[in-house]
Amino acid sequence: MSSLRVIPVVLLLAACSPAPSEAPAVIRPVKAVVVTAEPLDRVSQYAGEVRARHEISLAFRVGGKITERQAEIGQQVATDQVLMQLDSGDLALNEQALRAQLTAAQSDRDQARAKFNRAKVLLARNLISRNDFDTLQGAYDTAQARVQQAESQLSGGARQTGYAQLRTDQVGVVTALHAEVGQVVAAGQPVLSLALPGEKEVAISVPENRRDELRIGEEVQISLWSAPGQTYRGQVREIAPLADPLTRTYAVKITLTEPDAAVQLGMTASVRASRRLAAPVIRLPLTALIEHEGQPAVWVVDPETRKVIRRTVHLGEFHGDQVIIASGLAPGQQVVTAGVHKLYPDQPVRVLDQTP
């Protein structure tokens, strides 16, 4: 009987209790950007090296063993300066042999000439037959031709001896050494590289998948690691038609249009090229994208309610860490770029770095 009296009291107390209020919505802090339509520019950057536009390789005209080297990398060389020396012993012996052959040929010629002169006197007195005279004249002509041949051979031998010294006929800077003292080199084998004064250029390598980013005649910007903040103008001069068989990259040469004294050979350079790809388009960072029912979407902040609205979008091309929004957004809308995976429709948000 007592338990039946407790139940109405409990019900009465419950009826008098206030109704529980709903929990306030959580305001989520997010990062957002205002959508704008801007032209799409593709910026490419490559590392390269400053080189001389004209660079030649020097080599000995004869083979032999290098006995002396007077050139160093980076050295300024003048015209007719001796850079390397070969062992000229064998060449000197060959020159001596050719000189002896010339002396013997001259002696034979002098003897044949004396016989020919006597034959002319005897022929005038009819003391020698015409046939014998012609024979002596032919012997003299042959001896004279042999002297001329020996003189030519000696001249060539003397030049060969002079080729034991490697001299330059142009002013330049030594950029590379391909042989050292004690090494035996063949005729025509490059032993030294010489950069000629004049135009300077930057050599870069472009991967296969980025070869279309540059065009011959295109203007680019060049900066040097040794001179931060200073930029130079450049122009693409040459693009290799074939890729390097080892690196599979294309060699590109860029002419420096107005280099100053700070630009030195061998310096590290950075080449920056920019090209307009499309008319004004909307771009967003990849962090702004979410997936809803298999379609890409973004969160748009309502400027009046400060709540987020899920908006399906259609994507265009990807460029690095950004993507082109083909449709679904309009300039001026505010899109969440960070914290997108913790949001739900109509959730109030507070955009960071802005007044709530």
Provide the H-helix boundaries in 47-191. 89-124, 130-162
Q: Tell me, what's the pLDDT at 27?
A: 86
- The yes-or-no verdict on residue 18 having pLDDT over 70 is no
Q: What is the pLDDT of residue 277?
A: 63
Span 286-292, average pLDDT: 90
| C-beta of residue 272 within 8 angstroms of C-beta of residue 44 | yes
Question: Using one digit for the tens of pLDDT, what is the confidence trace for 100-125?
Answer: 998 999 999 999 999 989 988 888 88
3-state secondary structure of 12: helix
Q: How far apart are CA 281 and CA 297, in angstroms?
A: 17
pLDDT of 16 > 70? The answer is no
Closest CA to 48 of 209, 240, 266: 266
pLDDT in tens, 40-71: 777 788 999 999 989 899 999 989 999 999 99
Return the pLDDT at 3.
44
Q: Per-residue pLDDT for 205 more than 90?
A: yes
pLDDT at position 66: 92
Q: What is the pLDDT averaged over residues 26-39?
A: 86
pLDDT higher than threshold 90 for residue 92: no
Question: What value does the mean pLDDT of the chain take?
Answer: 85
Residues forming a β-bridge with 322: 285, 319
How many residues would you count in the chain?
356
Tell which residue, 191, 198, 195, has the closest CA to residue 172.
195
How far, in Å, CA of 241 to CA of 267, rounded?
Answer: 26
User: What pLDDT was estimated at residue 6?
Assistant: 42
Measure the CA–CA gap between 231 and 83, rounded to whole angstroms. 37
300 pLDDT above the threshold of 90: yes
How far is it, in rounded angstroms, from Cα 176 to Cα 142?
51
Residue 190 near residue 58, CB atoms below 8 Å: yes
Q: pLDDT class for 344, splitting at 50, 70, 90? A: confident
Backbone angles phi, psi at 246, to 5 degrees: -95, -50
| pLDDT one-digit tens code per residue, 161-193 | 888 889 988 899 998 999 999 999 999 999 999
**How many CB atoms lie under 10 A from the CB of residue 10?**
9
Q: What is the mean pLDDT of residues 139-155?
A: 90
User: Helix 89-124 to helix 130-162 angle, to the nearest 10 degrees?
Assistant: 160
> pTM of the predicted model, to two decimals?
0.56
Helix/strand number for the chain, H first, E second = 3, 22
Distances from the Cα of 348 to the Cα of 24, 67, 151, 338, angstroms: 11, 85, 105, 15
Residues 6+ apart with CB under 8 A from 19: none
**How many angstroms separate the CA atoms of 207 and 211, rounded?**
6
